[in-house]
A and B are shown apart, each in its own frame.
Chain A
């Protein structure tokens, strides 16, 4: 279909632009903003898995972000572990905490989960702040090393520059996206959306509610932890101030504005809001006032956020400029992989 082509062409163009971005001679500051934007995209994709798809809002994402950061940074600082080993361990630590916390709280139907994530996020922040012998309290951890160089025979990749960090984060995000896409358009993705839609009906279809909810939550914690490890390796200094409820709310706004329950939405939301956040500091005071209202109106009138707007634009374009190629609507299922399951990007 024509509108599918518009989607694929746009996706390809964006990935290409992202790949050549550091080569365009942009100011180092904008590269920094881009790195933060991509890191937030991983965070927002993580939240989207448990909230956008499974329907269970988590306000603990900043805490998992922090756990990934602290665990990987402490491993690098205290046992001189390489970043390449410390980062996955940090992400797994976040996932493990997610499982332990999710098991009792996700078992229940109703608003219990989201409420306890608020308290949980606060507990983790207090641990970072008060467990001074390990976390050095409010002073945070300094002197975190950059990821080690990787020798590929003919070329050696370094990561202590902004460009190096940018490509590390970008490649991680693309790898995450590939697996994320598979997951969303598979039996797991369908099960998560079924839980979002009606837990009792989903259960009667043979979907183990606790298992899938905890699985989605653990994976979302893993992604947040991964973003945390990358963040620690890039910024080299972490403190409890970064991992607050305010940060959790930022991640939430990115997901909602971009479009929850979609793959492109959290990325669009994360990149655009990070850009606004960093470049329009003049409006810092009014920023959250506007975001709060936006969140309410988007949820009420445009639950698919910017992606919903883009989808409308795409359909409009496709209708205005029809191509004389076969329209291929209503293909029987089975012809083209998972064709019938695709709703939106």
Chain B
């Protein structure tokens, strides 16, 4: 198991946002996490990525418990994420953004950096090689010097995913990657995620866009009111009674 969450719980004062959720994810899998607004998906993400300290429960990455550790530690263990409301380093270039994404994989010491030693040069060069390959794969190699804030919306979303990929994570968390996208951009994003799957990346994705979820995910877990009410293949979820009831019997919403 790559990721194992057991009894993960988050309470804010009297409100229980996530209530004893268990979740398992195998290497190479893409799992969708869906549920109505306020069902605790983003809170769940924030616990796994270290931004919130869980009230109770465990998060195991390849067997190691990382619950309650700081985000930078979690990142160096191999979990990368994107944000629902894009958080790029907006005044910096595309290149700088991905270089920062690679921060925790670069091994030079502070002294190497200040003195500009050969070790620093070698680390920078290795990073540049990897990142040039990554950016070329996702067709962004021609916009390296563009400021992140000047990119079109869809490209900003993609850049945020590439930045997360820069650290060669074991597990990639995508928080509503299709939010605010038009159908054309969403179609491109689906292609993008399939490419990631072909690379063998393990992904946990929160998404409202059912087209994206059904087309990319191997398994889907459904949260409602902070509890996991169902888990299974996309087909099983589409016919699951509890899920349909959670969405108030409405036809499953597209877009969001």
Taking the complex as a whole, does A directly touch B, i.e. does some CB pair lie under 8 Å apart? yes
**Residue A111 lies at the interface, judged by CB distance under 8 Å to chain B:** no
Report yes or no: A201 in contact with B72, Cβ–Cβ below 8 A: no
Could you tell me the distance in whole angstroms from the C-beta of A227 to the nearest C-beta in chain B? 19
Instruction: Report the nearest A residue to B110, measured CB to CB.
Output: A188
B128 part of interface (Cβ distance < 8 Å): yes
* Complex Cα–Cα for A179 and B81 (A): 33
The A-contacting residues of B in range 73-110, CB under 8 angstroms, are: 75-76, 80-81, 83, 87-93, 95-96, 99-101, 103-104, 106, 108, 110
CB of B179 within 8 Å of the partner chain = no
> Which one of A124-132, A138-146, A189-197 is at the interface?
A189-197
Q: Do residues B87 and A200 form an inter-chain contact, with CB atoms below 8 A? A: yes
Instruction: Kindly report which residue of chain B lies nearest to residue A341, judged by CB atoms.
Output: B96
- The contact size tier of chain B is 35 or more
Cβ of B89 to closest chain A Cβ, rounded Å: 4
Interface-side segment among B26-34, B57-65, B111-119, B241-249: B111-119
Chain A residues within an 8 Å CB radius of B129: 334
Q: Would you call B100 and A333 a contact (CB within 8 A)?
A: no
Against B, the Cβ 8 Å flags (1 = close, 0 = not) of A316-345 are: 000000000000001011100110110100
A194 with B100: CB separation less than 8 A: yes
A182–B116 touching, CB < 8 Å: yes
Q: A333-B128, A333-B131 are in contact. Are A190 and B99 (CB under 8 A)?
A: yes
Closest chain-A Cβ to B7's Cβ sits at a distance in Å of 24
Report Cα–Cα, A334/B131, bound state, in Å.
Answer: 10
Asked whether A206 and B76 contact (CB < 8 A) given A330-B144, A341-B96, A343-B93, the answer is yes
CB neighbours of B131 from chain A (8 A) = 333
Give per-residue flags for A163-202: 1 if the beta carbon is below 8 A from chain B beta carbons, else 0.
0000000000000000100110011101101100110111
The complex places the Cα of A8 from the Cα of B227 at a distance, in Å, of: 61
The answer to whether the Cβ of B142 comes within 8 Å of any Cβ in the partner chain is yes
Q: Does B70 contact A (CB under 8 A)?
A: yes
Complex-state Cα separation, A225 to B99, whole angstroms: 32
Choose the segment among A29-37, A70-78, A207-215, A235-243 that binds chain B (4+ C-beta atoms closer than 8 Å): A207-215
Partner of B114, one of A183, A193, A197: A183
Interface contact B132-A205, CB-CB below 8 Å: no
Residue of A nearest to B160 (CB): A201
A205 touches B128 (CB 8 A): no
A307 vs chain B, min Cβ distance (A): 15
Alpha-carbon distance A197/B90, docked complex (angstroms)? 7
* Interface check B120, CB cutoff 8 A: yes
User: What B residues does A203 contact at CB under 8 A?
Assistant: 51, 70-72, 75
> Are A334 and B106 interface neighbours, CB within 8 A?
no
Instruction: Answer whether residue A204 sits at the interface, using C-beta atoms and an 8 A cutoff.
Output: yes
B195 within 8 A of A: no
Which residues of the partner chain A approach B70 to less than 8 Å between Cβ atoms? Answer: 203, 208
Residues of A within 8 A of B144 (CB): 330, 333, 340
Closest Cβ of chain A to B255, distance in Å, is: 26
* A interface residues, tally (CB under 8 Å): 32
B125 at the interface (CB under 8 A from A): yes
Q: Please determine whether B103 and A201 come into contact, CB atoms closer than 8 angstroms.
A: no
Complex contact B110–A179 (CB within 8 A): no
Taking a contact as CB atoms under 8 Å apart, the answer to whether B103 and A190 are in contact is yes
* Chain A contacts for B145, CB-based, 8 A: 330, 340
Task: Mark each residue of chain B from 119 to 136: 1 if its CB lies under 8 Å from any CB of chain A, else 0.
Answer: 011011100110110000
Are B114 and A206 interface neighbours, CB within 8 A? no
Q: Nearest B residue to A335 by beta-carbon distance?
A: B128
B104–A205 CB distance below 8 A:
yes
Please, which residues of chain A bring their CB within 8 A of the CB of B76? 206
**A334:B132 contact, CB within 8 angstroms:** yes
Are B116's CB and A205's CB within 8 A?
no
Alpha-carbon gap, A341 to B145, bound state (A):
9
Nearest B-chain residue to A261, judged by Cβ: B91
Q: Are B167 and A183 in contact (CB under 8 A)?
A: no
Q: A187-B103, A334-B129 are in contact. Are A197 and B72 (CB under 8 A)?
A: no
Find out whether the CB atom of A204 lies under 8 angstroms from the CB atom of B96.
Answer: no
Q: Does B75 lie within 8 Å of A204, measured CB to CB?
A: yes
Whether the Cβ atoms of B88 and A333 lie closer than 8 Å is no
A190 to B166, CA, bound (A): 15
Q: In the complex the two chains form, is B92's CB within 8 Å of A205's CB?
A: no
- Contact A188 to B128, CB < 8 A, known contacts A201-B89, A206-B104, A340-B95: no
> Which B residue's beta carbon lies closest to that of A178?
B116
List the A side residues contacting B9 at CB < 8 Å.
none
- A179 in contact with B92 (CB, 8 Å): no
Residues of chain B contacted by A337 (CB below 8 angstroms): 121, 124
Chain B residues in 8 Å Cβ range of A201: 83, 87-89
B186 within 8 A of A: no
Q: Are B113 and A183 in contact (CB under 8 A)?
A: yes
In the complex, are the beta carbons of B108 and A332 less than 8 A apart? Answer: no
Q: Which residue of chain B lies nearest to A188 when distances are taken between CB atoms in the complex?
A: B113
- Any A CB within 8 A of the CB of B163: yes
In angstroms, Cα B229 to Cα A296, docked, is 55
Smallest Cβ-Cβ distance to A179: which chain B residue: B114
Q: Are B96 and A193 neighbours in the complex by a CB distance under 8 Å?
A: yes
13 cross-chain CB contacts under 8 A: A188-B113, A193-B96, A194-B103, A197-B89, A200-B51, A201-B88, A204-B49, A204-B80, A204-B81, A205-B103, A206-B76, A332-B141, A341-B96
Q: A190-B100, A193-B96, A334-B125 are in contact. List 5 more A-B contacts (CB 8 A).
A: A182-B114, A187-B106, A194-B89, A197-B91, A200-B71
